[in-house]
């Protein structure tokens, strides 16, 4: 038996509790991991609060990522004692996730912890930071460089936005951070943002084209915000879109794409191929300033997970939330 956050549903009513569970035989997987650290992400908050139908089956342990130590393995790539990281693959949605003492998963879903990162740091990065790295790599793949011009990051005080701001600034990009929380100005500038953009500037009725402002962008909001920033991207620029915190809709036109040659690249971190995952994690181990990573991270005790989750939906979470599960495994 081990501790876990468990979501259940009886007819239309969802319940969430901290419970004692055992790994069921039916849970597919060939590797058992003792979890050292996990995180709280926006998707976890949706699952725990029931605000969106994230969970596909019940009972479910939420937690879309974790870092830990292999305790049992029938997979050729992993052996007991290996330190590993998991992001996505439907964990916390279709398969029991990381807000628990143990997890049983497919070895193909795991990434070996890169040299130079602790398990705590890996979860301070988490799915949000790994997604941010995929966004930065997408901009680079499209030829966006620091010489191209300023890059906009929306939702900049959140997990993806914080890491993206820090990564881009560390690579020499000039970063504009968009936020609806002016009280976070000092925090965003400490991560490397050169200027702050009021979210209200991106929230009005979208036009087909506006004045060109940014060479590229990382967007976590979607909806009207994405439509507006697309209309302001410079000729040949690229937007890496990875979220829908604002809306899944996109009220835009073809104008930015056919008149300015703008590229809109969708970033999926859940089912991303392993080769690209490995590349992203290797980059994170070298490109992310550990001091800034620590500054954007807040620890929340396992027993406080349920009370913290609603804060995501209220827009009250800054940076990354990390959850110690078995932190003694770090030693």
Same domain, 212 and 324: no
Same domain, 94 and 136: no
Distance CA 41, CA 163 (A): 13
Task: Give strand pairing partners of 322.
Answer: 39, 299
Distance CA 87, CA 281 (A): 11
Average confidence (pLDDT) over 2-29: 85
Q: What CATH number does the domain containing 231 carry? A: 3.40.50.720
Task: Give strand pairing partners of 4.
Answer: 19, 100
| Domain-located, residue 279 | no
Same domain, 326 and 259: no
The count of structural domains within the chain is 2
For the cut 70, the answer to whether the pLDDT of residue 26 exceeds it is: no
For the cut 70, the answer to whether the pLDDT of residue 27 exceeds it is: no
Distance CA 91, CA 188 (A): 31
Domain that holds residue 202: 126-266
Answer yes or no: are the C-beta atoms of 298 and 320 closer than 8 Å: yes
| Domain-located, residue 207 | yes
Same domain, 176 and 109: no
| Percent above pLDDT 70 for the chain | 99
In this predicted model, what pLDDT tens digit does every residue of 183-225 receive, in sequence order? 999 999 999 999 999 999 999 999 999 999 999 999 999 999 9
pTM of the model: 0.92
| Domain-located, residue 196 | yes
Last residue of a domain, one of 244, 266, 288: 266
Distance CA 106, CA 72 (A): 12
Same domain, 258 and 234: yes
In this predicted model, what pLDDT tens digit does every residue of 77-107 receive, in sequence order? 999 999 999 999 999 999 999 999 999 999 9
Same domain, 134 and 223: yes
Q: What CATH number does the domain containing 45 carry? A: 3.90.180.10
Same domain, 259 and 132: yes
Last residue of a domain, one of 266, 287, 313: 266
Same domain, 86 and 187: no
């Amino acid at each position: 038996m081990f501790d876990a956050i468990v979501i259940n549903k009886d007819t239309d009513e969802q319940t969430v509790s901290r419970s004692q569970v055992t790994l069921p035989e039916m849970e597919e997987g060939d590797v058992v991991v003792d979890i050292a650290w996990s995180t709280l992400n926006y998707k976890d908050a949706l699952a725990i609060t029931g605000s969106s139908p994230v969970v596909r089956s019940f009972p479910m342990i939420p937690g879309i990522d974790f870092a830990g130590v292999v305790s049992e393995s029938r997979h050729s790539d992993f052996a007991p004692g290996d330190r590993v990281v998991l992001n996505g693959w439907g964990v916390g949605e279709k398969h029991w996730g990381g807000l628990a003492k143990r997890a049983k998963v497919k070895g193909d879903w795991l990434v070996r912890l890169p040299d130079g990162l602790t398990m705590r740091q890996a979860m301070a990065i988490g799915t949000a930071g790994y997604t941010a790295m995929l966004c930065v790599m997408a901009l680079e793949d499209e030829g966006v460089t620091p010489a191209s011009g300023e890059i906009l990051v929306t939702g900049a005080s959140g997990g993806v936005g914080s890491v993206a701001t820090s990564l881009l600034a560390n690579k020499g990009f000039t970063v504009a951070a968009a936020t609806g929380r002016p009280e976070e100005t000092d925090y965003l500038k400490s991560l490397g943002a050169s200027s702050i953009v009021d979210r209200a500037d991106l929230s009005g009725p979208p036009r087909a084209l506006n004045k060109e402002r940014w060479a590229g962008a990382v967007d976590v909001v979607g909806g009207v915000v994405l439509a507006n920033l697309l209309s302001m991207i410079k000729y040949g620029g690229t937007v890496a879109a990875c979220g829908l915190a604002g809306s899944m809709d996109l009220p835009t036109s073809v104008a930015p794409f056919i008149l300015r040659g703008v590229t809109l690249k969708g970033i999926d971190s859940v089912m991303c191929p392993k080769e690209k995952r490995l590349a992203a994690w290797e980059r994170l181990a070298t490109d992310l300033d550990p001091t800034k990573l620590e500054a954007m991270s807040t620890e929340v005790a396992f027993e406080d997970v349920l009370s913290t989750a609603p804060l995501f939906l209220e827009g009250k979470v800054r940076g990354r939330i990390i959850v110690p599960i078995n932190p003694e495994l770090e030693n």
